[in-house]
Amino acid sequence: MRVRTEFANIPQPDEQARAGALRLSARPAPESLGRLDELGAWIAACQGQSPPRPLKRARVVVFAADHGIAARGVSAHPPGATAEQVAALLAGGTPLNVLADAAGAGVRVVDVAVDTDDAAGFKVRRGSGALDVADALTEDEAEAAVDVGRRVADAEVDEGADLLVPAELGVGASTPAAVLVAALTGAEPVAVTGRGSGIDDPAWMRKALAVRDGLRRAKTVLDDPVALLRTAGGADLAALAGFLAQAAARRTPVLLDGLSVTAAALVAEELAPGARSWWLAAHRTPEPAHALALEHLDLRPVFDLGIRHGGGAGAVAALPLLTAAVRVLAS
């Protein structure tokens, strides 16, 4: 059964609330806290009030999936390592767990396509097709994955989340992410192919070839965001796109993480034009495709710590800064 992928007209943040927050920040001296003032004012605009309410329930949502392209040797990690990474995250032993705990944020893991027998929860399929020669998903699976993201966003907002931090977890994810960025920005394959998990030169060449071949296939469906996710994305990227679009529809601010999340954001902006006003880029990774995607979305990252891994750590590291910016205005 096909699911609905249309999104309602996306509301925009309240510019009067933003202006009011900026006036508050200018009381000691004009532009006294620079970018911190901008961050607090963005939250005020998203909340529709000035001063903004302190952030009380930030939620990190990690969408996990395997990618068929990993079998081509495009990652430093072997296919199948995703399940081990998910287990470590669920056990609370990863840097993301530590950073989230320090920031007071809860962590949720959503298995949409990890290549295991466990079919509980929101799993759409086991792994994905190798995007250089086959579609990553079927049409129904792509629709279903987008809907998973939509439903998870609704659930988090309904449970009181006032800030969302989406993340991805999956071996090989930066390859489809690079394809999506190239397809939607017009970049060449070599311009978007990065080192990902720390690959050597031969692996980089294999990855560049995979991106090239995936891009050839992606260019045939550029006018259809869901078809693009089906052809050259994956269940995690499709779920992320649905999550990001629905968060905007629900007037909930989002901290964007690394390449995969930002690539999904490019597609989400196609699904729900105007959604990007509800997103803040937390950081810039060394991945060349990430910088291109941020530029295309006209988003300026908060900082650049050289964090390469895209599993949410960079975005969660920015959370205390955003929380402090809001508290300054609310004090």
| Domain annotation for the chain: domains and CATH numbers | 10-53 (no CATH), 56-320 (3.40.50.10210)
Q: Where are the alpha helices (DSSP H) in the chain?
A: 15-25, 35-47, 81-91, 95-103, 139-158, 174-185, 189-192, 201-218, 225-232, 235-249, 259-271, 288-297, 313-330
Report which residue type is found at 184. Answer: L
Q: How far apart are CA 98 and CA 92, in angstroms?
A: 8
The predicted pLDDT at position 2 comes to 41
pTM listed for this prediction = 0.96
The predicted pLDDT at position 29 comes to 58
The predicted pLDDT at position 79 comes to 86
User: Do strands 279-281 and 254-256 pair parallel, antiparallel, or not at all (unpaired)?
Assistant: parallel
Q: Which residues contact 256 (CB under 8 A, 6 or more apart)?
A: 166, 262, 265, 279, 280, 281, 282, 299, 315
Q: Which residues contact 71 (CB under 8 A, 6 or more apart)?
A: 79, 130
CA atoms within 13 Å, Cβ hemisphere of 31: 2
Q: Which residues contact 240 (CB under 8 A, 6 or more apart)?
A: 63, 149, 166, 168, 260, 261, 264, 265, 268
The predicted pLDDT at position 8 comes to 75
Q: How far apart are CA 190 and CA 230, in angstroms?
A: 23
For each of the chain's 331 residues, which pLDDT tens digit applies? 344 567 878 999 999 999 999 988 766 655 567 889 999 999 999 999 999 999 999 999 999 999 999 999 999 999 889 999 999 999 998 999 999 999 999 999 999 999 998 766 799 999 999 999 999 999 999 999 999 999 999 999 999 999 999 999 999 999 999 999 999 999 999 999 999 888 999 999 999 999 999 999 999 999 999 999 999 999 999 999 999 999 999 999 999 999 999 999 999 999 999 999 999 999 999 999 999 999 999 999 999 988 877 689 999 999 999 999 999 988 7
Q: How far apart are CA 47 and CA 117, in angstroms?
A: 42
